[in-house]
Amino acid sequence: MTDLVLPAFEMDCREWIVVSPDEAGLPEDFDGAPVLAALSSVVIGDSDLAEASGVLTVGLLDEAARELPTREVAPGSVAQELLDDEFGPESVRYVMPAPGQRLAVLAEFVPTPEPELRRRIEDLMVSFRWQTAAV
């Protein structure tokens, strides 16, 4: 039996606060999937405050998951926006499948209609990159 080596990934998180599940007060799993991190970003306007929060989980893709409707976030981007409406319009979800594996990272955000927050979410997802493990 061989060991499974999980590849690392990169994201540009300059506009986000990233914390561990323990620091965020989250359980170790979310809908049965292990939680990698919680993210939060805030836009301060003249008279209001808008916030988006997200959770990164890891899971295995089965054949049914591979058939879900998706939208390419940007040309050549690893991240694909999930277009199902199971979670409603207030939530946006992305899947980032690992190359050549069933492993995937799922990102789910609860944004506000604030356009700047939508841009930050899209930019974050476009910045996602899998890294190949050193052998």
Which ranges of the chain would DSSP assign to H, the alpha helix? 21-24, 63-66, 115-126
* Assigned domain for 1 exists: no
**SS3 assignment, position 126:** helix
The residue with greater pLDDT, 123 or 31, is: 123
| Domains of the chain: total | 1
**Spatial separation of the C-alpha atoms in residues 79 and 92, rounded to whole Å:** 12
Residue 75 lies in a domain: yes
CB-based burial label for 32 (10 Å; 0-12, 13-18, 19+): exposed
Per-residue pLDDT reduced to its tens digit, 31-65: 778 888 899 999 988 778 889 999 999 988 887 77
**What average pLDDT does this structure show over 103-113?**
87
Q: For residues 8 and 131, is the Cβ–Cβ distance under 8 A? A: yes
Identify whether 45 is part of a domain: yes
pLDDT attached to residue 87: 61
Q: Residue 66 — very low, low, confident or very high, per pLDDT cuts 50/70/90?
A: confident
In the predicted structure, residue 1 carries a pLDDT above the cut 50: no
Q: Where in the sequence is the domain holding 56, given as residue range(s)?
A: 9-130
pLDDT band at 91 (very low <50, low <70, confident <90, very high): confident
Integer CA distances (angstroms), 130 to 41, 56, 68, in order: 23, 14, 21
Please tell me the pTM assigned to this model.
0.84
Domain-embedded: residue 118 = yes
Residue 30 belongs to a domain = yes
Asked if the structure places residue 135 within a domain, the reply is no
User: With 80 as the cut, is the pLDDT of residue 5 above it?
Assistant: no
Residue 91 lies in a domain: yes
